[in-house]
Structure 1
Amino acid sequence: MRARPTAALALLTIVAALGACTNNKKTDDESGVDTNRQATGAIASDPKDSMGPAADVPGATKGGTITIIRQSKISHLDPQRTYSFAGLNASQLFSRRLTTFKDDGQGHVTLVGDLATTPGTDVNKDCKTWQYTVKDGVKFEDGTPITAKDIAYGIARSFDLSLTGGPTYIQEWLADTPQYDTKFDFKNNKSALPPGLSVPDDMTLKFTFNKAHCDLPFAASLPATAPVPAAKDTGTQYDAKPVSSGPYRIAKNEAGTQITFERNTSWDPATDAVRHQYPDTFVWQFGPDPVTQTNRIIADSGADQTAVSWEGVDSSLISKVMTDQTLKSRVIQAPTPQHYTLTINNQRVTDLKVRQALNYAVDRDGLIKALGGSSLAAPVTTLMPPSTIGWKNYDAYPAGKNGDPAKAKELLGGTEKELVLAFEDDALGQTTSTFLKGNLEKAGFKITLKAIPADSFLDETKKKDNPWDVYIGSWGADWPSGAAILPVLYDGRAIKADGSNNGASYLNAPALNAEFDRVLAMPTDQQGAEWAKLDEKIMREYAPVVPLYVQVTTTVHGSKADGFFIDSIFGNVSFVNAYVKQ
């Protein structure tokens, strides 16, 4: 295998291209959303960049409570199971990783060491052997020092298939197979480590891969590398109250209702280049729908003066919010890399013509209007979002802005095709599924809707034998490269009985799987154009999903809260700089 370039070059290449590839244009109702925002970045080469304390936020003061209002509970708090956007952003409060992104909220990011002193050392300059040194002074919430063994144990437990939900990059790379559980049985070897992972001493962690993996520093920024004290691992019950390594700890978890975080007195800001500890407490409050969230925060009364809406401004209120000048200073708005699809279960919908008919049938313009307009979404016909390096625009099934029902019916051969469409039972899922049902039935389909609880939707659709034909899916790349999108979602070798990270499309084409291997073996700076070609090939030859839109985030916060921004990696509200105005 050809060696890939260093991670430093990979990050510079990837991040410099963010935004530069998009051809989205601002329209009158976007209220100044800069969908052409140029993003830049670097990888920290000086260990000082990975040390704290994080730069002070101008005007920030200590004290008070920040409330995050969300309709449904967070799927998982267990760091090895965390993969939802809410979970990823919430985990920044209490769960540190080997690396993390320092983000200014304007698209400028730097990969730094988090628990580690640097983003990683490519020992032999071939991306096969990586070494990390743990920082002095990092501790669990009880004051116990965090060691390399604790981080290694966290990674080892991610091999346990009963702990489903989290990313699987590192497991697959260490095992050298998507069926990583066949190489290491955590349940029966809890004191052992998976192949390729070693702990030379208390402060050193070493990864040894059979193949080059220059993306490890990026994958290490996901909470799968969070430390877990073995003595306090309660398996699936660890979800309720994982041990903190960050600036906040879980004080109270009222299942499905509210989670209260309080300051972790064992967190040392001198070790942390990213996070602050301004508020006394953070409260995640679950239940209110987006309309209620928005109206409460607009009203700006009591505790809502220091609250922020997680779901963002409801579509029915977007015009009101964007035209109210008194709210201007409280609105946060930015484009995101989050990509939505009508995902097709390729095990159940095996006829390519049916999948192509679905692509012709969809009325993207109508869907975006139903969602609230271009202040909230932009149409897309590609598998990768425009912010991806090497992205190339194309439309494999040109049907105009509103779809082509006649072409869809032609492909169906004049027969009515019955499909079950599963969706999350939140406001977004209900709006999207209702619109798509009406849209698709005009094109010759008969659609039965099936609501799935939002907090279990990912787990249920990732079960290989799930009984649904299509579902509304979304994906935000873990870093802005096709490597974090196409093979993750469409490599059939990653399909498992439970916990599949194959994007729930269950596409498994050996020729395509080989293409993933071919591109991943190329130097990173040559991969962009190849991912773009493969993007189009997948859509034309397999049509495994219907690309729908990319999200624009627009949310609002109370008058006595500040420091929020839309993070550049996942496109959701970040809390690392949040504070209460005193």
Structure 2
Amino acid sequence: MRPRAAVAAGGAIALVVSLAACSKNTGEGVTVDIDRRQTGVIATDPKDSTGPAPAVPGAQAGGTFTIIRETPIAHLDPQRTYSFVGLLAAPLFARFLTTWKDDGAGNLVLVGDLAETPGNNVNDDCKLWEFKIKDGVKFEDGRPVTSKEIAYGIARSFDPDLAGGPTYLQEWLADNPQYDTVWDFTANRTGLPPGLSTPDERTLRFEFAKPRCDLPFAASLPSTAPLPPDKDTGINLGNAPFSSGPYKVTRYQAGVEVVLERNEHWDAATDPVRHQYPERFVWTFGPTPDAAANRVIADSGADQSALSWNYVPASLVSRVVGDAALRSRTILSPTPSANHLVINNRRVTDLRVRQALNYAIDREGLVKVLGGQHVAAPMTTLMPSSTIGHRAYDAYPAGLNGELEKARELLGGQTPELVLGAADSAVEQQVATQLKGNLERAGFKITIRNIPDDAKLDEIKKRDNPWDLYLSSWAADWPSGASILPVLYDGRSIRAEGNSNESYFNDPAINVELDRILALPPTEQGPEWAKLDERIMKEHAPVVPLYVDVAYLVHGSKVGGIFVSSVFGFPSLVNAHVKP
């Protein structure tokens, strides 16, 4: 019998013990935690899930907060939301079963949002879960939010016409990746998918065929946003989503602008994370990242209370870094986005060759090509340091610039000829050229073959693709190894096309270990994922970890409350306010 986890102070079950962050000064008076360790807890005391959220020091109500972005948000329909920008815009107008309290420094608490707690694992086997819904949560028309509308929101995510969002809940309830073949939403609009039920208006129940211990995490995604059936406009919902959050959409001009204004029926006493400081949020689309950054840097008129959503473009990094007057208007933070040189294990079958690739990499040179430490930070693990339970290690210690002699020793006089598939974008071509020179100094012969940028993602996901190496990145849906290692390294998931396991790594012993850890309570998984991370690298070296993206943002002088989400790596808006 597994011992119960100890309860930490404040009524939260600790998932991991946080290690001290490692900070690095950029030489320009700006410090970034390049090896931040995440602290994660799941709240057990219902008080942690109640509101109001603590006041933001110095914040005042009023003003218009503007976000400038080149491209529109793909979907405002919560059940179709899956982009970073969508995931961070949605909390303004939608609430979910659970959500993260996030201080922007890696300290996270999973709390109930629509629910009173992050869920009740009824039989302690992760197969039956219940959520009690809060009183006092209302839609923008004043109607109360009940379990019925939350269940309907989840049910509509089974509709293949509404694809685009995460599919965890659908696959888990159907116990089948092809969930829409198990339950047809169109034919059962008044019913619910198998395993989902609402015993009463305040109870939502999930019953799974297999243990789904990560349900509280998956429930924090927008697919659990509520919707009354009479407000479901299908594929048009994204033009006018129906609000349960502090703001509601009052203007939607496709590709140009989205305006959100206060929802008078939002009750701060029910909300543990959000505020309602600005009178309105305005998303404006069109300006290039350079143009948006330059507008914010100029700090004129309405742009004083504007945020450039995209990271500072490489073309402007040196200018922003060198301007002392901008220092108070920049944010520098590591992100959860991990980048790897993926090795096609179906083609590169010799472990010593894969190990030699790991020894050969010049990470310092790679970071310089990318634009420096304001853009990227080196990593040597499969999971980024933002992952709960992460443990630092270097299976193939080669310093910052590679250990070429060790790589040559492993190759034993061979000169492996490898094909590096690279997108034809300017940045990836620069990176590929750097990698080619780096690896050839270690004894490899590298041929770069270009892939159209807009086709690369689909092409490398094909099992029989013709490349030995390619660059790829992954950002988890929640900061747990459960949304990283099983997705990327479970060989049983490999199919002809559409693979997330882009290394085509398949080891039966590792697959068994993945299943074992997934069946553990989330409170026990963190250290186990860290151990497995190191084991996979030491025993198999299926990829070469390269770097994590670093968020470098600039905003106007009247912008307050912005921090980089510890979960998604882009600006969180829950504390946003306009300074007087």
TM-score bucket (shorter structure): 0.7 to 0.9
Distance 1:310 1:299, change over 3 A: same
Alpha-carbon distance between aligned partners in 1 of 2:241 and 2:456, rounded to the nearest angstrom: 22
Gaps of 5+ in 1: none
Distance apart, 1:497 and its partner CA: 7.5
Matching residue of 2:562: 564
SS in 2 for 1:265: coil
Contact between 1:368 and 1:378, CA under 8 Å: does it hold in 2?
A: yes
TM-score by length of 1: 0.85
Matching residue of 1:519: 517
Between 1:215-224 and 1:45-54, the stretch displaced more is 45-54
Partner deviation per Cα, 1:101-137 (whole Å, 9 max, x = no partner) = 1223333333221111222223234433221122223
Distance apart, 1:221 and its partner CA: 1.1
Alpha-carbon distance between aligned partners in 1 of 2:508 and 2:422, rounded to the nearest angstrom: 27
Distance 1:417 1:130, change over 3 A: same
Matching residue of 2:296: 297
Question: 1:446 aligned to 2:447?
Answer: yes
Distance apart, 1:141 and its partner CA: 2.8
Distance 1:432 1:357, change over 3 A: farther
Distance 1:134 1:161, change over 3 A: same
Partner deviation per Cα, 1:188-246 (whole Å, 9 max, x = no partner) = 43333233211101221011234443332222111121113334434444444432221
Matching residue of 1:117: 116
**What code does the residue aligned with 1:98 have?**
L
Partner deviation per Cα, 1:168-201 (whole Å, 9 max, x = no partner) = 3333433345454454343443333233211101
Matching residue of 2:316: 317
Matching residue of 2:545: 547
Contact between 2:72 and 2:256, CA under 8 Å: does it hold in 1?
A: yes
SS in 2 for 1:551: strand
Matching residue of 2:199: 200
SS in 2 for 1:519: helix
SS in 1 for 2:479: coil
Matching residue of 1:98: 97
| Superposition map of 1:181-580 within 5 A | 181=180, 183-343=182-342, 349=347, 351=349, 359=358, 362-396=361-395, 400-403=399-402, 407=407, 414=415, 416-422=417-423, 430-440=426-436, 443=440, 444-452=445-453, 460=458, 469=467, 472-494=471-493, 502=500, 504-505=502-503, 507-522=505-520, 524=522, 526-540=524-538, 542-580=540-578
Contact between 1:422 and 1:468, CA under 8 Å: does it hold in 2?
A: no
Alpha-carbon distance between aligned partners in 2 of 1:168 and 1:5, rounded to the nearest angstrom: 30
SS in 2 for 1:16: coil
SS in 2 for 1:227: coil
Partner deviation per Cα, 1:329-384 (whole Å, 9 max, x = no partner) = 2122223332222445667x565578667656643212211223223321112111
Matching residue of 1:76: 75
Alpha-carbon distance between aligned partners in 1 of 2:483 and 2:254, rounded to the nearest angstrom: 32
SS in 2 for 1:199: strand
Between 1:490-499 and 1:131-140, the stretch displaced more is 490-499
TM-score by length of 2: 0.85
Partner deviation per Cα, 1:423-471 (whole Å, 9 max, x = no partner) = 7x6xxxx424432245326633332334545xx987x579658978565
SS in 2 for 1:144: coil
The alignment-based identity, stated in percent, is 56
Distance apart, 1:148 and its partner CA: 1.1
Alpha-carbon distance between aligned partners in 1 of 2:164 and 2:509, rounded to the nearest angstrom: 27
Distance 1:417 1:255, change over 3 A: farther
Contact between 1:335 and 1:552, CA under 8 Å: does it hold in 2?
A: yes
**What code does the residue aligned with 2:194 have?**
P
Distance 1:457 1:54, change over 3 A: farther
Distance 1:58 1:23, change over 3 A: closer
Alpha-carbon distance between aligned partners in 2 of 1:412 and 1:200, rounded to the nearest angstrom: 69
Distance 1:345 1:39, change over 3 A: closer
Distance apart, 1:580 and its partner CA: 1.5
Contact between 1:174 and 1:208, CA under 8 Å: does it hold in 2?
A: yes
Alpha-carbon distance between aligned partners in 1 of 2:141 and 2:218, rounded to the nearest angstrom: 28
SS in 2 for 1:101: strand
Between 1:392-401 and 1:266-275, the stretch displaced more is 392-401
Contact between 1:64 and 1:279, CA under 8 Å: does it hold in 2?
A: yes
Distance 1:451 1:279, change over 3 A: farther
Distance 1:413 1:150, change over 3 A: farther
Partner deviation per Cα, 1:303-350 (whole Å, 9 max, x = no partner) = 221111222223343343334332222122223332222445667x56
Alpha-carbon distance between aligned partners in 2 of 1:222 and 1:288, rounded to the nearest angstrom: 29
Alpha-carbon distance between aligned partners in 2 of 1:411 and 1:482, rounded to the nearest angstrom: 35
Q: How many residues align?
A: 569
Partner deviation per Cα, 1:528-574 (whole Å, 9 max, x = no partner) = 44323322343355544432211332212101221111222223211
Gaps of 5+ in 2: none
Alpha-carbon distance between aligned partners in 2 of 1:185 and 1:497, rounded to the nearest angstrom: 25
Alpha-carbon distance between aligned partners in 2 of 1:134 and 1:420, rounded to the nearest angstrom: 49
Distance 1:239 1:564, change over 3 A: same
State the superposition RMSD in angstroms. Answer: 3.6
